[in-house]
């Protein structure tokens, strides 16, 4: 009854967990970070960042900063810095490699630098939410720029690196217009070709879940006006809360549906996800974020889209 994802992780020695979709996505990878560390593996962290990285002292590339707990930057919004501080307080001196938003070319260059410098043998691209599986013909793509650029950059890395996509937070993308029946349809298509590697729940009894919640709550306390709706919802689901539960004023006026599906991980073979994308080839030569946005929007507007479907359960 072993999941293929964990079987394929067994030989890994040096792992990079990278937040694909920006902001707090790297936090969704923390349960795996703690578990892999407990297995004696070296684990690094990276994140597509929405922080102002212009003040960072350590910038090996213009689009890449190495963030630690004492890195200079905004106190209003800097989740990577506060996460590094929390990790240091836990005895985990782990910098966060923060990627500046851009087109696929600079993001690919950042991943190539990370691969050459960290020498990781395994990459886990983590998505807080599930819109990274949107392949281009859905009625709603969510917020695709960050996810698809990260996917394209990771897909271009050498084939001897194990590469995975892991999603956490099924349902949280409803706010951005994602049809979750389309996510399930896409996951089924990946199952048909052996690209779906397993699904499992994050439970409060797990030490990794409690550390993840502690990290999220610490960073929320450091920047209360810019807390993560996605990770706050996931933590509430892990704690067993249900329904229209709000932990931040940012969600006031909306109706939430916190439920156990939000605490489930979905793991996929990254290259299989990339091959299922219908517009990955359209964005490979983009340099800027605005160019990336334009090409995605232009492609989506030209497609015959799958209509919205409610999940009949």
The reply to whether 200 falls in a domain is yes
pLDDT digits (tens, 9 = 90+) for 15-60: 999 999 989 999 999 999 999 999 999 999 999 999 999 999 999 9
Angle between helices 207-222 and 229-238 (to 10 degrees): 140
Please say if the pLDDT value at position 313 is more than 90. Answer: no
- How confident is residue 194, by pLDDT bands cut at 50, 70 and 90? very high
Tell whether 249 is covered by a domain: no
Contact indicator for 106, 53 with CB cutoff of 8 Å: no
User: What is the pLDDT averaged over residues 103-131?
Assistant: 98
The sign of the dihedral angle between the CA atoms of 24, 28, 29, 35 is positive
Q: How confident is the model over 138-180, as pLDDT tens digits?
A: 999 999 999 999 999 999 999 999 999 999 999 999 888 999 9
**DSSP at 97:** E
Asked whether the predicted pLDDT for residue 241 surpasses 90, the reply is: yes
> Which whole number is the average pLDDT over 203-220?
98
Query: In the predicted model, what is the mean pLDDT of the chain?
Result: 96
Is residue 276 over pLDDT 80?
yes
pLDDT score of 128: 97
Both tokens assigned to 4:
């293929």
* Cα separation values, 196 from 6, 30, 111, 184, 300, Å: 12, 21, 24, 11, 25
Quick one: which H or E segment has residue 14? Answer: strand 14-19
Return d(Cα 156, Cα 248) in angstroms, integer: 38
User: Could you tell me the pLDDT band of residue 197, with boundaries at 50, 70 and 90?
Assistant: very high
- CA distances from residue 286 to 46, 106, 276, 278, 283 in whole angstroms, order as listed: 21, 9, 20, 16, 6
Q: Is residue 259 part of a domain?
A: no
Give the pLDDT of residue 78: 98
Residue 249 pLDDT level (bands cut at 50, 70, 90): confident
Structure token pair of residue 48: 């597509």
Please compute the mean of the pLDDT values over residues 67-75 and round it to a whole number: 96
DSSP-derived 3-state class of residue 57: coil
217-234 burial by CB neighbour count: b if 16+ within 10 A, else e?
A: bbbbebbeebbbbbbbbb
Q: Using CB atoms within 10 A of its CB, is residue 179 exposed (0-12), middle (13-18) or buried (19+)?
A: buried
| Three-state SS at 269 | strand
Cα–Cα distances (Å) from 118 to 110, 155, 201, 253, in that order, read: 12, 17, 30, 44
**Which pLDDT score, from 0 to 100, does residue 2 have?**
93
In this model, does residue 265 exceed pLDDT 90?
yes
For 132, the domain range is 7-204+264-301
Q: How far is residue 139's CA from residue 141's CA, in Å, rounded to a whole number?
A: 7
The answer to whether residue 217 is domain-embedded is no
Q: Per-residue pLDDT for 104 more than 80? A: yes
Q: How many domains does the chain have?
A: 1
Q: Categorize the per-residue pLDDT at 107 as very low, low, confident or very high, splitting at 50, 70 and 90.
A: very high
Tell me which H or E stretch contains 16. Answer: strand 14-19
- Given the structure tokens 């690209």, which residue do they identify? 195
pLDDT exceeds cutoff 90 at 109:
yes
Task: Specify if 197 maps to a domain.
Answer: yes
Give a yes or no: residue 226 inside a domain.
no
Phi-psi region of 17 (alpha: psi -120 to 50; beta: other; left: phi over 0): beta
Per-residue tokens: 215: 């990290």
Any domain includes 254 = no
Give the least confident one: 167-176, 198-207, 243-252: 243-252
Position 274 pLDDT exceeds 80: yes
Residue 230 lies inside a defined structural domain of this protein: no
């Amino acid at each position: 009854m072993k999941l293929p994802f964990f079987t394929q992780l067994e030989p890994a020695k040096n792992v990079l967990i990278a937040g694909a979709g920006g902001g707090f996505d790297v936090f969704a990878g923390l349960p795996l970070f703690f578990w892999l560390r407990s297995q004696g593996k070296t684990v690094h962290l990276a994140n597509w960042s929405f922080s102002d990285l212009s003040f960072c002292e350590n910038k090996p590339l213009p689009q890449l900063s190495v963030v630690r707990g004492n890195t200079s930057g905004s106190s209003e919004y800097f989740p990577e810095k506060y996460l590094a501080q929390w990790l240091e307080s836990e005895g985990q001196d782990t910098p966060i490699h923060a990627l500046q938003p851009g087109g696929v070319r600079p993001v690919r260059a950042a991943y190539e630098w990370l691969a050459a410098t960290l020498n990781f043998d395994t990459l886990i691209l983590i998505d807080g939410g599930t819109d990274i599986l949107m392949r281009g013909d859905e009625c709603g793509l969510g917020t695709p720029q960050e996810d698809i650029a990260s996917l394209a950059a990771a897909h271009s890395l050498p084939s001897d690196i194990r590469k995975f996509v892991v999603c956490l937070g099924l349902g949280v993308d409803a706010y951005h217009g994602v049809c979750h029946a389309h996510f399930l349809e896409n996951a089924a298509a990946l199952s048909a070709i052996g690209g779906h590697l397993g699904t499992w729940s994050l439970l409060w009894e797990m030490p990794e879940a409690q550390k993840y919640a502690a990290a999220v709550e610490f960073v929320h306390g450091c920047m209360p006006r810019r807390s993560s709706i996605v990770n706050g919802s996931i933590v509430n689901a892990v704690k067993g809360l249900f329904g229209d539960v709000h932990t931040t004023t940012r969600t006031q006026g909306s109706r939430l549906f916190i439920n156990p599906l939000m605490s489930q991980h979905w793991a996929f073979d990254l290259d299989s996800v990339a091959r299922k994308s219908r517009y990955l080839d359209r964005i490979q030569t983009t340099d800027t974020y605005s160019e990336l946005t334009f090409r995605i929007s232009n492609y989506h507007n030209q497609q015959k889209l799958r209509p919205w479907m409610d999940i009949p359960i």
